Structure formats: structure tokens, C-alpha cells
Structure 1
Amino acid sequence: MRTSNPQEPARPAIRGRWRRIGAAAVGSAALVLAGFGAAGPANAAPAAKATATTAATSAKVTWSPACSTPAKGQMACKALRVTGGTTAFQKANAHADAVTPKAADAATPSGYGPSNLQSAYGLTSAAASNGSGETIAIVDAYNDPNAEADLAKYRSYYGLSACTTANGCFKKVSQTGSTTSLPSSDAGWSEEISLDVDMASAICPNCNILLVEATSATMANLGKAVNEAVTLGAKYVSNSYGGSESSSDTSYDTSYFNHPGVAITVSAGDSGYGAEYPAASKYVTSVGGTALSTSSNSRGWTESVWETSSTEGTGSGCSSYDAKPTWQTDTGCSKRTIADVSAVADPATGVSVYDSYGVTAGWYTFGGTSASSPIIAGVYALGGTPSSTSYPASFPYASAGTSALNDVTSGSNGSCGSSYLCTAKSGYDGPTGWGTPEGVAAFTG
């Protein structure tokens, strides 16, 4: 676990782990997508920013983690917020009038919106007609007092139907199910919450959203929040946090994640090659991250492993404690292998999010495997309710090698030789699993 950067500002409560992430190279294809604008501003006193140069623009892009270093025994959130620079998206969006977008302008979206994500993953028709009556639970730590209002801004801008407490679409509770006695508020985790609920909305606009806020970022409290989400009827539960593995993980599996008939998705991590928990749980769908760009191919999109350096990018690897699930048959790990599937996570090809708590209210670009986990939870929801005895983590394995998944075959996320555990290849690999969704067929029972 890394130590705090000395320039990280003091914040009122412990949040997720501080990470310094630079931009992964984006493809050279120009991105001419409606709704792409400039990156949003940073917090008033942001952490020291990492920089990287995109292949397409030779312009520096900066971003920093939403959450600061957690106390010992706490989980880190995985949200990464772009803080400056000009991405390939922004250059392409400005080419018509030859105006370079301002780096600090949160007035308009600056990343992928619902139509982009639905197009990239073959979900346009499913998103329009599926998901009614389904509930996606978002499990995070601490309270976001502006969660419902910020979600309303996101959905209104993109023409999605209202999702409010009043119409029964949105509900926010504590880990005990209370709607009134909520945890203390926290700016960093509020950014994580905004990212998560917006991505669930983007993929499954007709779904209900249940936000369950844990009292703190310990695995015990987050695990209780997962149990509460299932108790309240959610069949899809997204978890955008993680931490180091421990000998307690198998007991956490039994206590918090063994829920047949529920699709539980977990971020694979943002520190490159190496296993994290709860992504290593044999009962969850571990979700890796990609860089997503437009392309002239028949799909219209292309993806590679999200990687910035050997220690910065999507997580993957072999668990030290969790047994291999019966549906996983790769031979490079005797225990559980991370990941199962993947979706966009590279901040340089990031998603648009509306957030107002602890920052200047407006639009921001986010990345990290915090984005990919709720995206995949939304795909499961579009696929329909799992059978009560099933483990939905197994579903993509039944579609392995078919057109129901986009095979990601380029890139790596660290140093493990040429092994599939850190290097993309045809078929299964650690960083991207069996690939990214192409419709919902690989996520149904």
C-alpha cells in the first residue's frame, strides 16, 4: 500500500487509498462524439497530479484519485478524476472551429455518456427496453448528501427518465437499512458515489437504484452494506473498492458475498498487476479495465488493457487465499484468478459524471475500475433476474470465445513475463478476463 503524497490536502474523514495515476496512451483514431467538452476543474487544493502524454495529442492529461489514503484495515475507493489537460476527445470535439477547449470548464460533459457506452457494448436496444423493475445496488462508504440531486442532473442532461425517491426509482439507506440515520458525509467517497450511480443509469436507464452507504470503509461495514442490499431485494450489487488480501478473506466470502441468485460485481483494482480483495472472492464477478476508443472497424470501437505503468492500471493476478471457482479453468493460477470480464476504466478515455459535493458543482471526467464495476452490474441487470441457485460470476464463462464478448487482445498491466496473467491475448487473460460485453447474452443465466 502506498503512502500519502505530502501535497494531499487534509480532509474531514478517512477515505479510500491515494493513488497517483497517469494517462494511458489512447489510440490515434480521432473521436468525433457529441457531448464531449473540456475537463472539469480540480478541488480547490488538489493532490499532486500525475501526468502522461497521449499518443494522439502529445498533450499532458492529469488526474488524481477521489479518495485519500485509508487507515489500516480500510478499503480504498477506485474513482480517478481528471483534473486538467486536453485529451484526444477534447481536441476532436473542438476541431470544427479550431478552438482548444479550456481545461477548467465543468459546464458541459467531458467524457463518454450513456449513448456512447451503450453503443460501445452493443446495448442500445436492450437499454431502451430492459431493466424495468430491476434494482441495482451501489455499495460505498460514507454519505453523499447530494446523491439524488446530482443523479437528477445527470439523467436530465442525457434525456433519461427521472429517478427519484418520490417516484420509487431511487433509494438511499445506511448499512442497517435506515433512511434517516446515515453515515457522516465525505467529499471523496461522494465522488465515487456520483460515478457509480451515473454509470448504473447510463447502462440501465430503466433500472431502480439502491444506494447503500456503509458507516466506514472497513470490509466488515462494507460487507454488512452488501448484505443489506441483498436483504432489500437487489439482484445486482456493484462494489467499487478494494484492498490487500488477507487470511480473513475466506471468512468474508462466507459472511458477505455468498449470495446465490445475485450478480455481485467488484472493481479489479487500479494499481496494475496484483490481486486485491474483494475482487478475489470466488463469489463475485471481478471487473478489469480497458482503454476505449472509436475505430473504423465494424464494431466502431476498439479496446486495449488499461495500463499507465507497471504499477498503474487495471488489476489482475492470482489470489493467495481464495479457492478457484469451479467454472474457472485457466492453469496459471492454482487459486482464484482476477479478472472475469472488463469495461472502460482508463481516465484518458473516461466517462462523464455530474458531482457537486465538496467540489465546484459541474461535469467531470472519471476513470478507474470504479467505472467498470457498475457498468457490468448494469449489463447483468439488462440481462434479467438470475435464477435463485445460480452464481452469475459463472455466466460469462459459458459464453467464452463467442460473439457475446469483445475479446481484448492488446496491452498489459505489469511485469509477469509474457504470461496471460498480465498480458492480453486471444481468449482469456487476467487484465480483461473474457473481454467486454457485446450485448447481454454473456450475462444471462
Structure 2
Amino acid sequence: MRRQTLKRPQVLLAAMTAGTLAVTALAMAGKASATPNHPAPAVLTWHQLCAAPSTTTASCDVVKVDNPHERVSAFGTTTTAAPSGYGPADLQSAYKLPADGGAGQTIAVIDAYDDPRAESDLATYRKQYGLPACTTANGCFKKVNSSGQTSPLPSAASANQGAEDSLDLDLVSAIAPRAKILFVEASGGTMSAMGAAVNRAVTLGAKFVSNSYIFKESSSDPTYDRQYYNHAGVAVVAGSGDWNYSWGVGYPSSSPYVTSVGGTSLVRASNARGWNETVWNSKASEGTGSGCSAYESKPSWQTDSGCSKRMTADVAAVADPAHGVAVYDSYQASGWGAYGGTSAATPVIAGVYADAGVPTTGSNPASYPYAHSDALNDVTAGNNGTCSPAYFCTAEHGYDGPTGLGTPNGTAAFHS
């Protein structure tokens, strides 16, 4: 996407809502006895890697933690040697997913520009967590341009985009460790470039396509649907954005042919599930996106009454950097880090679709969760702004904008 200027870091304790502070306190209390040598720091900071996008140029949905070496219990790291941030075992536990999911499937990851260290960085991540090797040599990993060729590849990405690439590749690996990965690098961050990469992924056989980029929605979006995102029998997934409800609706998340993914704050808990989730909302201009599209028609399977057009999101997953995921990125970066944003949630959901199996021929997989809403974790606390009707930005029982129908509880909600 665009070469962005980094924003000023945001401070955790000044930014979090009272509800989030309470959840964090519970998580820290529950972990204190297990991590006596790693007291919580006074301050944890992070920053958004990209500015909000325009209607013509895509942006990333990535938030990077500045000081992940501060081993706060909020990260819930399961091994003393592991980097800060949730790893595969944590996410598989939180969402009741198999440790060997994705066998026989191919997940496409769509990003802009070339990351020359994508494969080697992915190898470091997978080795750290004991995941099977996924390389060009063993046929598991393939990196191509929008023409489906291994060369020439696009121009090199900025440091920000390298983080996006690693986040996407690491998280689909965490959720679907046995799946093959097709990494399609678009020539730039325009709609035509990103859309061409999506089309190429489908023609190369991917049944699951992860899109962690976002545009501001526009009146041209229904046309883009027909050109790039209407792929029957393919689970096309996109994040709802990282700038809270007040920013508005993003695309392709708002496409009725795409599963729109919101973000949550995922923390350990003493309940039966072992985890708790609330709407991700760090501050006024940072948190999961949601809203009622101004341009996209409402799909028949979406039945909320307050929005006459397409509503986002459909489902949600981990996105809060205060409880972020571990990622390895050495391309113009220092290696291990902790990240958040709906660019974390998006590959999680793409991986869950792959765990669930090949979508039914001719179907729209975005509709699947609506037929199996009882197989999701209903998120009922938190908000991402102020709105009317309230469910546009406030978690409720059943459907709401920030988290859709909820988060994965196994794979049952992600197949027909």
C-alpha cells in the first residue's frame, strides 16, 4: 500500500477505556502467579503503521507495539522462551481450533509490493512454534506477481508493508498450519492492482483469500465487486479497518461477496472458555471499524433492521495491540514483535475457513456464519464509538456492527 509516515505512539493506560482496564486487571491477576519474574510495566505503547486510506489508494490495518520486550501478562505468552504476543497455541485455544488444521487447502494472501524476506521470515516463525515447514522447495509456499509468475516481482515494499506481509503469513500459519500458502504480491496499492491480485489467486486455485488492506468506500464499489470480488465458492475475507466507527465504512470489507472481519480485545479469563472478548477500542481514532454502507446492497442473509444496505462486520477475531499477536519481520525491522489491528483478525478468519474445508460450489461463504450463529462466541461488551442505532457501534447479544455475529468457536460456522 502507500509508503506511510509513522504516527506518534499512543500510550496504553491513557488510551484504554475503563471496561478494558478492568478486563486487563483480571487477566494480569490470573497470570501473576505464573509469571512472578515479569511484572507489568508502567506503560505499554504502540502506533498505527499506516494512515487511514483514501478511495483510490489502499492502506494497511496494522498496529505495532513499540515495547513488546515488556513481558506484560496481557500477552498471555505460553512459553518462557517465546516472543511477547499470542502464538498459535494461544489462538487455537481461544477459538477451539485443531492444531493441524488446513490440510489439503490453499490460502492466498494478498499484499502490495515485494517482501524479499517473506519466506525466510515465515520459516523463523513456524520453527519457533513447531509448525511444519512451509517452503518453496517443499511446495507449501509460493510467491507470485499478479500475473501468476515468480518473476519479475513488484518493487520492494516499505518497512511498514513488510510488517503487514509477515503478520498475514504468520497468522494464517498459526490457524491453518497444514495449509499451503499462495502469496500474491500486487504491483501497487490501487484498486486495479489489488483486485488483479485477488483474481489471480482464484485462477491459481485458492479457495480462501485473505485481504488485509482497505480503501475508503466509494460509489464505484459495486462495479469493483463484479470485477474483482465476486468469486462463488471462494471465501474472500477482508478487515473492517482500524479507525473506529467515526471513520466510516471501508472496502472491500463492505462488499456483499466478502466476509467482513471486525476486531476484538482477547484476554485470558477464569471462565469456562478460558478467554474473554470485548470490542477492540483503544481510543477515539483507533479501534475496529463498523457501519452501514452507503453504496452496497444488503445481502439476503443479513437481516438486521437498522441498516437498509450492507452492514459491517460479519464476524471478528483478535485485533487489540494491548493483547496482540507475535510476528517475525526482519525486512527493515528488528525481528520479533507484537502486533494488532484487523490485519491480524483477517488472516485468522481466512485460516478458520480453511480449517472448515472447501466451500460449497456456487455458494457465497460470507453467508455461512449467519446460518450457524450458535457456533460462534457472541461478543456482548464494548463499543467502538457513539452511534444510532446503538448496535452499529456497540456490542449486543446477537448481531452487532463491531463484532458481527461473534468470533470462532470451532469451525462449524464457517462451512455451509
**Do the two structures share a fold, i.e. TM-score over 0.5?**
yes
Structure 1 CA distance for aligned equivalents of residues 307 and 388 of structure 2: 15
Letter of the aligned partner of 1:202 in structure 2?
A
* TM-score, normalised with respect to structure 2: 0.90
Give the equivalent residue in structure 2 for 1:43. none
Letter of the aligned partner of 1:347 in structure 2?
P
Give the equivalent residue in structure 1 for 2:92. 118
Structure 2 CA distance for aligned equivalents of residues 135 and 19 of structure 1: 35
Q: 1:89 aligns with which of 59, 73, 81?
A: 73
More displaced, 71-80 or 269-278?
71-80
Structure 1 CA distance for aligned equivalents of residues 110 and 311 of structure 2: 23
2:44 is paired with a residue of what secondary structure? strand
Q: 1:202 aligns with which of 174, 187, 191?
A: 174
Deviations 1:391-421 (A, max 9, x none): 0000000012x1x100000000011046101
- Residues 177, 233 of structure 1: CA spacing in aligned structure 2 closer, same or farther, 3 A cutoff? same
Give the equivalent residue in structure 2 for 1:46. none
Give the equivalent residue in structure 1 for 2:60. 77
Contact 2:64 2:337 in 1 (8 A): yes
More displaced, 241-250 or 21-30?
21-30
1:304 is paired with a residue of what secondary structure? strand
Letter of the aligned partner of 1:15 in structure 2?
R
- Residues 15, 91 of structure 1: CA spacing in aligned structure 2 closer, same or farther, 3 A cutoff? closer
Letter of the aligned partner of 2:84 in structure 1?
S
Give the equivalent residue in structure 2 for 1:428. 399
Contact 2:239 2:261 in 1 (8 A): yes
Structure 2 CA distance for aligned equivalents of residues 17 and 235 of structure 1: 35
Deviations 1:131-173 (A, max 9, x none): 2110010001111000000000000010001000000000000
Give the equivalent residue in structure 1 for 2:213. 241
Contact 2:291 2:312 in 1 (8 A): yes
> What is the aligned residue count?
400
* TM-score, normalised with respect to structure 1: 0.85
- Residues 161, 79 of structure 1: CA spacing in aligned structure 2 closer, same or farther, 3 A cutoff? same
Give the equivalent residue in structure 1 for 2:266. 292
- Residues 178, 91 of structure 1: CA spacing in aligned structure 2 closer, same or farther, 3 A cutoff? closer
1:388-407 aligned at under 5 Å gives the runs 388-400=361-373, 402=374, 404-407=375-378
Letter of the aligned partner of 2:216 in structure 1?
S
Give the equivalent residue in structure 1 for 2:356. 383
Letter of the aligned partner of 2:365 in structure 1?
P
Deviations 1:266-299 (A, max 9, x none): 0010000121111100100000000000000000
Structure 2 CA distance for aligned equivalents of residues 317 and 91 of structure 1: 29
Q: 2:2 aligns with which of 14, 34, 40?
A: 14
What residue ranges of structure 1 are gaps of 5+ in the alignment?
Answer: 1-12, 40-55, 97-106
Letter of the aligned partner of 1:261 in structure 2?
G
1:242 is paired with a residue of what secondary structure? strand
Contact 2:77 2:85 in 1 (8 A): no
Contact 2:63 2:339 in 1 (8 A): yes
Per-residue deviation, 1:57:
5.4
Deviations 1:2-27 (A, max 9, x none): xxxxxxxxxxx933686665544352
Contact 1:175 1:213 in 2 (8 A): yes
Per-residue deviation, 1:32:
3.8
Contact 2:41 2:72 in 1 (8 A): no
Per-residue deviation, 1:390:
0.6
2:309 is paired with a residue of what secondary structure? coil
Give the equivalent residue in structure 2 for 1:347. 321
More displaced, 71-80 or 279-288?
71-80
Give the equivalent residue in structure 2 for 1:370. 343
Give the equivalent residue in structure 1 for 2:302. 328
- Residues 339, 80 of structure 1: CA spacing in aligned structure 2 closer, same or farther, 3 A cutoff? same
Contact 2:11 2:43 in 1 (8 A): no
1:272-287 aligned at under 5 Å gives the runs 272-273=244-245, 274-287=248-261
Q: 1:259 aligns with which of 225, 231, 240?
A: 231
Q: 1:141 aligns with which of 103, 107, 112?
A: 112
What residue ranges of structure 2 are gaps of 5+ in the alignment?
Answer: none
Answering whether residue 202 of structure 2 is matched by residue 230 of structure 1, we say yes
More displaced, 261-270 or 21-30?
21-30
Answering whether residue 278 of structure 2 is matched by residue 308 of structure 1, we say no
Q: CA RMSD in A?
A: 2.7
Taking only the aligned residue pairs, the percentage that are identical comes to 55
Contact 2:62 2:341 in 1 (8 A): yes
- Please identify which structure carries the higher helix content: 2
Contact 2:324 2:340 in 1 (8 A): yes
Structure 1 CA distance for aligned equivalents of residues 347 and 230 of structure 2: 19
Structure 2 CA distance for aligned equivalents of residues 296 and 70 of structure 1: 39
